[in-house]
Structures are given as C-alpha cells and as structure tokens.
Amino acid sequence: MSIMESAHALVVGIANYQKINRLPETVLKDAQDIHNLIISPQHCGYSPDNVQLLLDGQATQASLRQALADLVQRSDQDSTVFIYVSSHGGSVEFGPHAGEYLLPVDADFTSGASLAQTAVSGGQFTEALRAIPARKLVVIFDCCHSGGIGQPKDAEAPTVKAGLPDNYYDVLKQGQGRVILASSRNTEQSYVLPGAANSLFTQHLLDGLRGGAIGPGGVIRILDLFSYLQPKVTSDFSSQHPILKAEIEENFPIALFLGGKSATPLPTVPLPDSYEYDVFVSYQAKGADKSWVRKTLLPYLETEGLRVCIDTRFPLGVPVITSMERGIQQSRYTLVILSPDYLESGFSEFESLLSQHLGLEQSKSRLIPLIRETCNPRLGIRILFMLDMTDEEEFETNMDRLVYQLRQSPVSRNG
C-alpha cells in the first residue's frame, strides 16, 4: 500500500469576493497549481478522489464547512490531511464580534453581525480541525495578500484587520500531529513579485513539493519542507517571514518525493563560502559517545564527501581551547552530539556555547543538535530542532537529512 493512499486534501482559493475587496487572480492560480501538484502521481501522489478544490464561487461559507466535515468522515488516525487556504483572513479586535475569521467568497462585511454570520470564525475552524481524527494534519495559510479587506457600510461596524494573528495559529496547532504553516507574520503581507506566475510563498511551496525539498526514503516530510521554503521566501523578499507552529512527535511525511523515488545523492561541490570545514563535531570523547562518533558518524560523513573538523585532528602543541575556537570559526556548522555524558562535560558545553554565540554575532543558525542518547539539554538547545538518533529505524533518514543540511548555507536568524 502506498504511504499516501490514505492522504486527503482540501485546497481553497478565493480572489473574486462578492461583497469585499478582491484579491489578485494569482490567488486562483496558486490554489489550482497546488491541487494539480498534489494529485500528480509523478510528484505528491494523492488520489484525485481524495482531494477537493474550491475556487471562488465554490468556496462559500456552507461549502467550506461541508468540506471540513467531509474530512472528518473520510480520514482516520493513520491518515494524512493537507489543507491549503489562499484567501482573505482577518481579525476583529474589539466589540461583541471580536475574534479571527476566514472569509469565504460570500462573506458580508455590512456590519459586525453580518460578518460573524457569513464568515468562518476562528472557533468554528478550530472545532472543525479538532474533529479530524488524522494524526498527520497540515494547514497552510497564504492569507494576507493586500493591505485591506474593505470598508463596512455601517459606520458602527468594527474594523477588520487583515491577516491572522500568531495566537490564532497557536490555538489551531493544539492536538497531536498538528502543523500550521503561514506565509508571513501577522504584521506582514504575502507578496507576489512583478511578473511572477504565483505568489512568492506558494511558488517556493510548489518548488519544494516538486522535489526541491529533501526526500529521503521517497517522501517529503513536513519539517524538511518548511526548512526548504522558509529561507527561500525570506531570501527573495526580506519583509516576508513564513512561520510554522507545530505539536508533533515526529517529522511525518506529507507527500511523495517525485512519485516515491529515493532522493538522488547531492553533488559534493563545496559551497562558495570561506569555510575550511563543513562541520565541527562537539562530543564527549569517552565511552559510548566516543565510539559512536568515531566509528559510525565520522565515516558516514566523510563517505559523503564532507569536510569534518574533530578533536582527533587538533594540532599537537596547541592549547585545546584554541583549537576548539578555531575549528568552530572555520566550520560552516557545529554538530552537537547530545547525551547525559555530554551534558556533564564542561569542555563539550563550552564548544556549544561558542558556536551559539558565534551564530548570534553573525545572525546565522550554525548549531545543529543531534540526540544520540535521551537527555534533557538546556533551554538554549531545546528551542532548536534536534535530530533524534535514538530511533534506529529512522537512522538512515536522519543521516540523509543531516548531510543535506550540512551542504546548505546557514539560514539567517532574521529570517
């Protein structure tokens, strides 16, 4: 059975609103292209029978509610559910109808009461998602394409602020296996660059699903997809920062990679930067950590053509701290091998602190934590996404992801 056989999707694109400001026609192309790619057997591999597309007049309040209800009936705990929404979204900050709203094509902003009656409120959308039993659920919003929604006819109607606030996404992600991905921060707009066929965010989302994101084992996983598209968007336009909110226990598959093909090996051509090494390995040089790093990790990385800086190659007659400092400065990334022994080691902790401080100075994320043995690192490490090597079944997948990351330029912290 295909891993995506029980995958379901709802794709929504609304540009030509009946009663409020319209959005660019690009919105419709975004949704149509996402739909076409999702059902492509050469790419994402969803069954066309399991994917619903609602464009413009099809995306009424009643239709949206019914489509969400259908996902409850069609999916189960083992399903993957993918929801993409490109439309107006907004929030009312004061008054009896305060809250967040997704605006269907027939939304009426004549008054606060009419908006509440014709839009999909945050509470309604939250309850609809909670009812979906799937433990692999992704909701993607590309919802702030213009500065305003329109002016109400009623002078006493509340002002609707375009875009959805971050706390709305926090609520939506609650529940096992929930990921919310938004095209921009709530203070930003989602841009369409001049001459582009798609919005900036959706263009990179499409590119990632077409094979740009890494696909070890023939699947694209949700965190790998975000790791691909987030720096791409911000690199193209520094005033747009995609965000991700998640409540997950695993980096689960969201689509097939090129129809299920295993990712082809990446070229070993060095990146055009000044680093002498691809990675500095920070670990506790004794016991099981020492054995794993030197007998498993190091041979694997060097077989992939990566340049590794490790303590066994420090020059003789030079203070260890001096060699540590130089190695971290001359390496694109520092890889921290986490275990209870590591956390008790002063030298190892010193190395990770050096790397984090250097990353802050340069505004780049250059520290990669890897959990070799279950432990509880300090908060400064826990806030980072960590590779979990305690699951032997995921070893090859995580090593592929590590090699892929080490061949990428560090992501700007401003992005």
Residue 287: left if φ>0, alpha if ψ -120 to 50, beta else—which one?
A: left
The residue among 220, 256, 259 whose CA lies nearest residue 42 is 259
The pLDDT score that the predictor gives to residue 149 is 61
Tens of pLDDT, residues 128-147? 999 999 999 999 999 876 54
Q: pLDDT over 70 for what percent of the chain?
A: 89
Residue pair 332/366 in contact (Cβ under 8 Å)? The answer is yes
What gap in Å lies between CA 44 and CA 60, rounded to an integer? 27
Pairing between strand 120-121 and 99-103?
Answer: antiparallel
Bridge partner residues of 91 (DSSP): 100, 161
| Domain parsing of the chain, residue ranges | 7-260, 277-406
3-state helix, strand, coil in the chain (%, to 5): 40, 20, 40
Please list the residues that pair with 277 across neighbouring strands.
Answer: 331
d(CA 371, CA 388): 5
The rounded distance, in Å, linking the Cα atoms of 412 and 415 is 5
**Eight-class DSSP state of 105:** T
| Interacting residues of 240 by C-beta distance below 8 A, sequence separation 6+ | 183, 184, 188, 189, 190, 191, 200, 201, 233, 234
pLDDT, tens digit (0-9, with 9 covering 90-100), for 26-73: 999 999 999 999 999 999 999 999 999 999 999 999 999 999 999 999
- Which helix H or strand E contains 64, and what residues bound it? helix 61-74
pLDDT on residue 150: 55
pLDDT of residue 412: 61
Q: According to CATH, what is the number of the domain 7-260?
A: 3.40.50.1460
pLDDT under 70: residue ranges of the chain: 1-2, 145-162, 263-272, 347-349, 357-363, 411-415
Task: Please give the mean pLDDT across all residues of the chain.
Answer: 87
CA–CA gap between residue 381 and residue 66 (Å, rounded): 43
Identify the architecture of domain 277-406 in CATH.
3-Layer(aba) Sandwich (3.40)
